[in-house]
Amino acid sequence: MIARKWHGAVPREKADAYFQYLKRIAIPDLRDTPGNSGVTVLREDDATLSHFVVISFWDSREAIRAFAGDDLEKARYYPEDADYLLEMEPTVTHYEVLASPEG
């Protein structure tokens, strides 16, 4: 299994709305892609920003390619992301999953 990690930061006052947007658009898109094994969303707030980390789990690099395109390291964005994110970070990171809550 492969984990794909993305990070984005939004102004704190937009964080709740951004999470609702993720739940409406990005999370279903990830989950509906064949070969996706799940999605985890993490949030950390500081005084002015909210940081989101989205970790999606995949059966193979081929499955990631079906979601992300040929350049697996390139972050994929949705049209409304620009309304929330302070920066469109260009890349994501991939990890081999060695252990997980499921075993």
**pLDDT tens digits, residue range 86-100?**
999 999 999 999 998
User: What band does 12 get if pLDDT is binned at 50, 70 and 90?
Assistant: very high
| Residues whose CB is less than 8 angstroms from the CB of residue 94 and which lie 6 or more positions away in sequence, other chains included | 2, 3, 4, 5, 61, 64, 72, 73
Return the CATH class of domain 2-96: alpha beta
Residue spans per domain, the chain: 2-96
